[in-house]
Amino acid sequence: MFEKKEKDEAQRKLERTQENLLRIKDILFEKDKQQAVLKRSVKKFEKYSVLKEELNDLKRKSIGLKYSRCKYELEQLNKVKNPFILEKSNLLSEISKLNSEITQIENRRFLADGTLDVYFLPRNEGGRPQVLTENVEPELFVVDGEKRIPQRILSLEQDAPRRQGISFLLLIDNSGSMHDEYLGNMLRFETARFAVEQFLQDIDNPLDRIGLSAFNTFYTPLMPVSQVSARFENALNSIQRPAREHSYTELYRSIREAAGDLADYRGRRAIIVLSDGENFPYTLSGNPHPLYGNQEFNPQDALKTLLDEGISLYAVHIGEKQDKPLDDIAKRSGGRSFTADDRGNLMNI
pLDDT band at 97 (very low <50, low <70, confident <90, very high): very low
* Domain-terminating residue out of 43, 62, 84: 84
Same domain, 257 and 318: yes
Q: Which domain holds residue 31?
A: 1-84
Same domain, 37 and 9: yes
* Domain-terminating residue out of 57, 84, 111: 84
Q: What are the CA-CA distances from residue 294 to residues 165, 283, 285, 291 (Å)? A: 40, 6, 11, 9
Whole-model pTM: value is 0.63
Asked if 235 contacts 222 with a C-beta cutoff of 8 angstroms, the reply is yes
Q: What is the mean predicted confidence (pLDDT) over 60-80? A: 65
pLDDT value for 93: 39
Q: What is the distance between the alpha carbons of residues 194 and 30, in angstroms, rounded to a whole number?
A: 87
pLDDT value for 172: 95
pLDDT value for 268: 85
Closest Cα partner for 236 from 179, 317, 181, 171?
171
Same domain, 13 and 133: no
Calculate the CA dihedral of residues 65, 66, 68, 70 and round it to 10 degrees: 160
Same domain, 146 and 239: no
Give the angle 57-63-64 at the CA atoms, nearest 5°. Answer: 90
Tens digit of each residue's pLDDT (9 = 90 or more) over 313-338: 999 888 777 788 999 999 888 888 88
| Percent with pLDDT over 90 in the chain | 23
* Domain-terminating residue out of 93, 125, 151: 151
pLDDT value for 259: 94
Structural domains counted in the chain:
3
Residue 240's domain is classified under what CATH number? 3.40.50.410
pLDDT value for 86: 46
Q: What is the mean predicted confidence (pLDDT) over 24-36? A: 75
pLDDT(273) > 50: yes
Q: What is the distance between the alpha carbons of residues 122 and 128, in angstroms, rounded to a whole number?
A: 8
Same domain, 200 and 273: yes
Same domain, 92 and 212: no
Tens digit of each residue's pLDDT (9 = 90 or more) over 141-183: 655 666 766 766 666 666 666 778 889 999 999 998 888 876 5
